[in-house]
A = this chain, B = another copy of it.
Amino acid sequence: MLKKERQAYILRQVSLHNSVLSADLSTSINVSEDTIRRDLNELAETGKIIKVHGGALSKSFNSFYLRGDVYNVDSKKMVAEKGAALIKDGMFILTGGGTTIIEMARLLPENLKATFFTVSIPAAYEYAQHPNIEVIFIGDKIAKKSQIAVGGEAISKIKHIKADLCFLGINAIDPEHGITDNDWDIVQVKNAMIEAAAKTVVMTISEKLNSSQRIRVCGVQDIDVLITELDPENNLLDPFRLNGVTIL
């Protein structure tokens, strides 16, 4: 069997099954695993497949979430960085959805080993890209606008979790009304998340400070940490600091 022929066969197998093992290929084509590895390397170099330990994956399979245009990405990245710094090895983390959370997911250090619970489809997708993170999706009916699981099933599942940290992206927050939102179902879920975690971390860009919406999620006193892109000493944050919130 010619080299190209062999590589074509490998490509076919990868496309067909989305993944192949070097050992399987080796026995089915009857060449040494070294040869297979070399083929896999060549195919990977030309970008035809993705090589992984023990075999290879199809390229087209994963990645179809393209990062759309996100509002205020830079600010959100600053926020996300501060948030990511709070996560330590071995922690159980509960997170919602929202663009800030997604940014944080992308910024998690490669070697972080932690367990993430989430109700958000995009967040779960991002966490799943990470090599060392364990991802648990809390399923239920999916709210289309936000791609988040909502409903009694999800809430009761969340209540069974004892997480170290809960990261919340929010719609609106002000010192008087606390966190507010405009979707009943989502508020229920966020409520449950806050209760299920030892500490609640709110991540938001400063624009959302001092705005409010119709439905209350929780009061300021329920928030443990507030992260914005601002300097922690900024006056805008004073009212929260006075309510015992840690500002980062």
Residues of A in contact with B (beta carbons under 8 Å apart): 2-5, 7-8, 11-12, 15-19, 21, 47-48, 50, 52-55, 57-62, 64-65, 68-72, 98-99, 102, 121-122, 124-125, 127-129, 134-142, 144-147, 149, 154, 157, 171-172, 182, 207-208, 211, 213
In the bound complex, do residue B211 and residue A4 qualify as a contact, i.e. CB atoms below 8 Å apart? no
Asked if residues B62 and A213 are in contact (CB atoms below 8 Å), the reply is no
A136 and B141 contact, CB distance less than 8 A: yes
Contacts of A52 in B (CB 8 A): 2-4
Contact A57 B5 (CB under 8 A): yes
Copies of this subunit: 2
Q: Would you list 6 pairs from A and B whose C-beta atoms are within 8 A, ordered by A residue?
A: A5-B19, A5-B61, A125-B125, A128-B142, A129-B144, A136-B139
**A193: min CB distance to chain B, Å:** 14
* Contact pick for A57, options B2, B65, B154, CB 8 Å: B2
Kindly name the residue among A139, A145, A147 whose own CB sees the greatest number of chain B CB atoms within 10 A.
Answer: A139
In the bound complex, residues from chain B placing their C-beta under 8 Å from that of A125 are: 65, 121-122, 125, 147
The answer on a CB contact under 8 Å between A136 and B145 is no
Q: Please state if A48 and B68 are interface contacts (CB–CB under 8 Å).
A: yes
Contact B17 A2 (CB under 8 A): no
> When the two chains form the complex, which single residue of B8, B18, B64, B172 contacts A61, counting CB atoms closer than 8 Å?
B8
Partner of A60, one of B11, B21, B70, B137: B70
CB of A115 to closest CB in B, whole Å: 9
Inter-chain contacts of A208 with B (CB < 8 A): 16-17
Extra contacts besides A3-B54, A57-B145, A134-B141 (12): CB < 8 Å: A2-B57, A7-B65, A16-B207, A17-B213, A18-B99, A59-B68, A59-B69, A62-B147, A64-B122, A128-B144, A137-B149, A139-B140
Contacts of A129 in B (CB 8 A): 144
